[in-house]
């Protein structure tokens, strides 16, 4: 599933970035070698960060 259509970042990439320590959408973009474009996916990435078990346990 594509989370960021501008950068073609997938859900798996977002979760991988979070597992590697990304705690903000900017960190996720950076981990994928991308940067925010339109910003439409930022709320979605933020909610994924908040829902990830690794983040909740922290």
Which is nearer to ligand FES, 11 or 58 (by Cβ)?
Answer: 11
The yes or no reply on residue 12 touching ligand FES (CB under 6 A) is no
Part in contact with ligand FES (CB under 6 A); list of ranges 1-9, 15-23, 47-55: 1-9
Whole-number Å distance between alpha carbons of 52 and 26: 16
CA 5/CA 52 separation, integer angstroms: 21
CB 35 within 8 A of CB 9: no
Question: Is 41 among the residues that bind ligand FES (CB under 6 A)?
Answer: yes
| Interaction site with ligand FES (CB under 6 A) | 4-7, 36-41
């Amino acid at each position: 599933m594509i989370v960021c259509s501008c950068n073609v970042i997938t859900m798996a990439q977002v979760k991988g970035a979070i597992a590697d320590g990304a705690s903000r959408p900017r960190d996720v973009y950076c981990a994928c070698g991308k940067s925010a474009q339109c910003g439409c996916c930022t709320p979605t990435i933020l909610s994924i960060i908040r829902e990830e078990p690794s983040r909740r346990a922290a």
